[in-house]
Structure 1
């Protein structure tokens, strides 16, 4: 398995999908397929003007869509689970409720959503917005690497940020440009190397823009700084999560003995190196199944790509972590 091509390589190829429709069910299915399965769209009042427009680009762990409905709708989404999300209106005002907090998002302020907690949206017909989905593992890995310290998952992000001044303005402009370039057939962002760099800027830019408790003054949730030995092992696992690492190999990468590395991981990560690697792989499989078409992939090939060679043990571990089977996760994308 060491020499196999990792799952990240094809994800740098951008995908562009668009839809215009007056059919509510068709619009709902489009959003469920490209964003989240547990999403419901309910027209409010007179829906004769319903005219959905969705123009979505997907680039690895980042999905950006320009979305509007043309008439007032109510949108409800259960726990996102696998992603963080930002809604940034281009026109109109969106009323958002998430985890007990109400946010009025407009051209001056974006709404932010964590993986846990239902989302309730009052979406007026005049509201057109950028919907930005970033896979949970990608944002958490970026913040973890930037801070070089233990973080709490899911991230305790602020519920909104400013789009007029500061980093929020820059991040929103970057997202708009990325979306426009990927929608164009001949844009520079369609070159895989450029696309990958742009993708990384969107992820790292959000980590630097949104509020979180990992600033200069920790809010009691910040773990101890991780030593370089632990960081080296983590970097190796994130670079090649499908590789069949042994504890001895990871200790060699870290430059310490096996017992020292295991003790350091228990102290600074909260679990053993191989337990961390297993969780990393499971999260990778879950994210890929959650965004894949059931008729294009099967569970076993995704599991093998992420380094699972014993499908029975993999299925049991997956169910223990997510509460459902891998095949159920894939079927929910229909």
Structure 2
């Protein structure tokens, strides 16, 4: 028996961080949220239908986890974004246009706008993970890595071999996502960790899986000229707390991250983030020397300059200034 589900409003319940759905109509809504509007064919009695799912939103992407309790087939129109698919448990057929792939834990697929995608032979117990990445998120990251805006849309190879060559790095990232999605780990909570995790996913995909810009990314980077390095250094010196990451700094000086890092190594014999860390450390040192110990603490000053871990701050501070920050602060009153 084939039951075709159409989107409707049906109740569902959450179980241990995931969602347990017992009606095909509601499954359509969940699939649309994680992938795109779809048709769901259920090859069994609708009364026995179940879907366990979990969708985690990250900046610019989301992670979807799906496991059906009965045989199904899903047909989805072309997505408006990039979708990475793999199956931590079991396997199913993924077909997009003339391309087809048996998706397992070691063999995935990257779907992008253009063709209807079919998820077929989806048997009970098979887990599917989908990572949906927005156009802007992926192309912004690519522009940062290239040092320029891409001329054409990114076109990935459809077949994804997760245990071969550079793709083994992407495999480790996807398995991390699987653990976080199924166990609701700490990386999927809070703006700082979710931003870092989203950046890790897009970076791993662009550097590990072949696409039409892969050769450009693999080319040896030309170091940033000394004048541009000086501009980057002046930006750090003027307001070190305004620079959040090496990507942020590279964007401000219209450079790729690799060219910026190579320029700092060649002209300053350090990296951008090491230079930023030293400037922040120097500013913390200056403030500790002039602060009133009755109104300030080491923790307060350290956190004001971006050092969240007090023990690590004390360690690097002592290494640079040959005394603990508490000693510097205590001496300020004399």
**TM score, norm. by length of structure 1:** 0.55
Question: Secondary structure at the residue paired with 2:195?
Answer: helix
1:156 to 1:141, Cα distance in 2 relative to 1, 3 A: same
Q: 1:28 & 1:63 partners in 2: Cα distance?
A: 17
Give matches, 1:247-266, under 5 Å. Answer: none
Q: 2:30 & 2:50 partners in 1: Cα distance?
A: 13
Query: Is it true that 1:19 corresponds to 2:19 in the alignment?
Result: yes
Match of 2:77 in 1: 78
Residue by residue over 1:137-175, the C-alpha shift from the partner in whole angstroms, topping out at 9 and shown as x without a partner, is 111221232123553543221002111233333323323
1:101 to 1:188, Cα distance in 2 relative to 1, 3 A: closer
Match of 1:247 in 2: none
Match of 1:33 in 2: 33
Q: What is the deviation of 1:43?
A: 0.8
Q: What is the deviation of 1:185?
A: 6.3
Match of 1:89 in 2: 87
Residue by residue over 1:225-277, the C-alpha shift from the partner in whole angstroms, topping out at 9 and shown as x without a partner, is 9x99xxxxxxxxxxxxxxxxxxxxxxxx999xxxxxxxxxxxxxxxxxxxxxx
Match of 1:119 in 2: 117
Q: 1:97 & 1:31 partners in 2: Cα distance?
A: 17
Between Structure 1 and Structure 2, how many residues are aligned? 208
1:192 to 1:215, Cα distance in 2 relative to 1, 3 A: closer
Match of 1:180 in 2: 179
Q: Determine if contact 1:160/1:210 at 8 Å carries over to the other structure.
A: no
Q: Which runs of 5+ in 2 are unaligned?
A: 1-15, 226-251, 255-334
Q: Determine if contact 2:169/2:208 at 8 Å carries over to the other structure.
A: no
Q: 1:129 & 1:76 partners in 2: Cα distance?
A: 15
Q: What is the deviation of 1:45?
A: 4.5
Q: 1:66 & 1:45 partners in 2: Cα distance?
A: 22
Match of 1:158 in 2: 157
Q: What is the deviation of 1:213?
A: 1.9
Query: Is it true that 1:168 corresponds to 2:167 in the alignment?
Result: yes
Q: What is the deviation of 1:22?
A: 1.9
1:193 to 1:54, Cα distance in 2 relative to 1, 3 A: same
Question: Secondary structure at the residue paired with 2:198?
Answer: helix
Aligned CA-pair RMSD: 3.1
Match of 1:193 in 2: 192
1:105 paired residue among 96, 99, 103: 103
Q: What is the deviation of 1:40?
A: 1.6
Q: 1:164 & 1:23 partners in 2: Cα distance?
A: 36
Q: 2:40 & 2:105 partners in 1: Cα distance?
A: 23
Q: 2:201 & 2:149 partners in 1: Cα distance?
A: 22
